[in-house]
Amino acid sequence: MKPQSRRPVSSGRKVRYYIEYLVFRGIEMAIRLMPEIFLVGIARFFAFLGFKVLRYRRAVSLGNLAAAFPEKSAAERYRLAYRSYRHFAMLMLEFMKLTGWSLEKLERRLELDIPPEVQEWLDRRGQEGAIVVSGHFGNWEV
């Protein structure tokens, strides 16, 4: 099979992508400077903008929820989809905020709950290192 060649990106698209990048970085810097108390309100704004104004992938979200939860009413699925957008917006804002934190601040703010038997196993391994697989709980991005 012949590999597909990529079309060159037009200069107009390059400018658009660069402007989008600058807007994103500006929002990220503003989030880092803001007190954390404002994040919930900002997350609600972005969820409202994405779900109700721009309707970004709303039909896909509602369709997926209809397939997964046919027993729920359309109103329940609508609320669930909107709350999912709010939750995702909050995660993204928290992630932006966390990327500016020092290791010391992360250690002060985050709680790592390692079961004693896992900690003993890790301690026995010493400096070898290990790959530990767990469920997806909390902010795994950290």
* 27: pLDDT strictly greater than 70: yes
Half-sphere exposure of 56 (CA within 13 A, CB side): 9
Mean pLDDT, to the nearest integer, of 35-45?
92
Q: pTM of whole model > 0.85?
A: no
Which pLDDT band holds residue 108 (cuts at 50, 70, 90)? confident
* 86: pLDDT strictly greater than 70: yes
* 141: pLDDT strictly greater than 80: no
CA angle 30, 32, 34 (to 5 degrees): 70
The pLDDT score that the predictor gives to residue 23 is 94
Which pLDDT band holds residue 2 (cuts at 50, 70, 90)? low
Residue whose C-alpha is closest to residue 88's, from 126, 35, 50: 50
Mean pLDDT, to the nearest integer, of 97-115?
85
**Proportion of the chain above pLDDT 70, given as a percent:** 94
